[in-house]
Amino acid sequence: MIYLDSAATSFQKPDSVRAAVVRAFAEMSSPGRGGYPAAMRAADMVLECRTELQELFRVQTPEQVVFTMNATHALNIAVKSLVPPEGHAVISGYEHNAVTRPLHALNASVTVARAPLFDPEKTVAAFREAIVPGTDAVICNHVSNVFGYAQPVEEIAALCRERQVPLIIDASQSAGILLLDCRVLGAAFVAMPGHKGLCGPQGTGVLICGESAPLRPLLEGGTGSRSAEQEMPDFLPDRLEAGTQNVPGIAGLLAGVRFVRARGLARICTHERYLAASAAAGLRSVPGVQVFAGEGLFAQTGVLSFRSEKIDPDTLGNRLSQRGIAVRTGLHCAPLAHKTAGTFETGTVRASFSFFNTEAEVFRLVEAVEEILREKS
């Protein structure tokens, strides 16, 4: 199989990730549940993982790195910590349902800072206009999960600091690919999955908490600390980590983060961008294919959407699957992004590349699309 769905989850994991998961099953129990060796081995590994993430994202302390089930879980904590029921949030036009559904559940008033694809200047201008006195939070993904558009989060963060509005960054598509310096950004929260660019197992996520962010637990329960009290502990990470940790998952995530740091973000990102740019060039040469690609290397990461007037995206995706190519089709859980880009009625086919993909696989994708469209006409 040619796997081109790394924006959903990275399927090709480093061998070290699998080995770490197996080792955790064999050697570790649960952190914070005892002082015996199996519990302390788990605790040491979990702290190692926090520390690796602290260094990767340049966070002040490891306690600010909170483990979650996935990015959706992390985003729910972040959104519900900052936006009260019927509060006001400003979001980009490319947000995922993991942001819009919690806001809907809060009955929040949402202003969409709408801007065209791959236009960072208009994106910042839209946020500048949308943020008003009384805005409870600004929420923006670093990279669109549909189009790979790398949004100008540094400028948006500067704007939020200037207006003193807390910022939530959804780093689902950028963690392990693009640099995010939390000390510079000053975001209240940065949410990410462990199982995409960070190469960890499914069921892992991370929430990085800013130093003064208000923290509202989504789950209450045992933390292995202050257990005589019924209030959740007021300190991190315990406040946001109720219940038993996903130790095998975090062990795999630690191996994944080490893999990413050893390769280097720049090398990983350049490879993925190169593959996306090659795919864009190849698909543009196929008659009847519309490709959503930015100008220049920095506008986009390794996520590429396309569609054809000759065949609907889902059928095209199914035909690619029959040829052994895995892509994602439809609305990608991001109807807002499709509305903003004008692709809501059809959806798109999305090919998303990882460090493990090759140029030969890109050529095969282009060739397969060409074959399918030729058969259609």
Partner 1 sequence: MEQYLVIARSVTHAQRLERLLARAGIRAQIYHAPLELNGGRGCAYAVQFRCRDLRSVLHMIYGADLGPVQVYSCGEGQYREVQV
CA 73 – CA 84 distance, rounded (Å): 17
Choice between 47 and 291, CB closer to partner 1: 47
According to the binding rule CB under 8 A, does residue 186 interact with partner 1? no
Number of H helices, E strands in the chain: 12, 13
Choice between 46 and 126, CB closer to partner 1: 46
3-class secondary structure, 133: coil
Among 33-41, 94-102, 181-189, 360-368, the segment contacting partner 1 (CB under 8 A) = 33-41
Under 8 Å CB-to-CB from 142, ≥6 apart: which residues?
Answer: 150, 151, 153, 169, 170, 171, 173, 174, 178, 180
Among 16-24, 223-231, 284-292, 299-307, the segment contacting partner 1 (CB under 8 A) = 223-231
According to the binding rule CB under 8 A, does residue 229 interact with partner 1? yes
CA 268 – CA 274 distance, rounded (Å): 10
Distance of closest approach, residue 357 Cβ to partner 1, in angstroms: 37
3-class secondary structure, 65: strand
- The CA-atom distances, in angstroms, between 216 and each of 123, 235, 294 are 30, 11, 38
**Six-digit token string for 350:** 């999305």
According to the binding rule CB under 8 A, does residue 242 interact with partner 1? no
For residue 188, report the phi and psi dihedrals to the nearest 5 degrees.
Answer: -70, -40
3-class secondary structure, 160: helix
According to the binding rule CB under 8 A, does residue 183 interact with partner 1? no
Choice between 40 and 125, CB closer to partner 1: 40
Distance of closest approach, residue 156 Cβ to partner 1, in angstroms: 29
Interface residue with partner 1 among 1, 26, 228, 360 (CB under 8 A) is 228
Choice between 106 and 251, CB closer to partner 1: 251
According to the binding rule CB under 8 A, does residue 227 interact with partner 1? yes
Choice between 8 and 28, CB closer to partner 1: 28
- The CA-atom distances, in angstroms, between 145 and each of 7, 47, 117 are 6, 30, 12
Among 186-194, 225-233, 324-332, 365-373, the segment contacting partner 1 (CB under 8 A) = 225-233
According to the binding rule CB under 8 A, does residue 343 interact with partner 1? no
Choice between 35 and 134, CB closer to partner 1: 35
CA-based max dimension of the chain:
71
| Torsion, Cα of 91, 93, 96, 100 (10° steps) | 50
Could you tell me if 26 and 264 are in contact, meaning their C-beta atoms sit under 8 angstroms apart? no
According to the binding rule CB under 8 A, does residue 31 interact with partner 1? yes
Choice between 40 and 297, CB closer to partner 1: 40
Interacting positions 39-58 with partner 1 (CB under 8 A) = 40, 43-44, 46-47, 50
User: Which residue do the tokens 């209240």 mark?
Assistant: 188
According to the binding rule CB under 8 A, does residue 237 interact with partner 1? yes
CA 146 – CA 304 distance, rounded (Å): 7
Choice between 54 and 92, CB closer to partner 1: 54
User: Which residue do the tokens 């350049």 mark?
Assistant: 270
According to the binding rule CB under 8 A, does residue 166 interact with partner 1? no
Name which of 209, 166, 255 is nearest 67 in CA terms.
209
According to the binding rule CB under 8 A, does residue 63 interact with partner 1? yes
According to the binding rule CB under 8 A, does residue 282 interact with partner 1? no
Choice between 64 and 348, CB closer to partner 1: 64
The footprint of partner 1 (CB under 8 A) covers 31-32, 34-35, 40, 43-44, 46-47, 50, 61-63, 223-229, 233, 235, 237-238
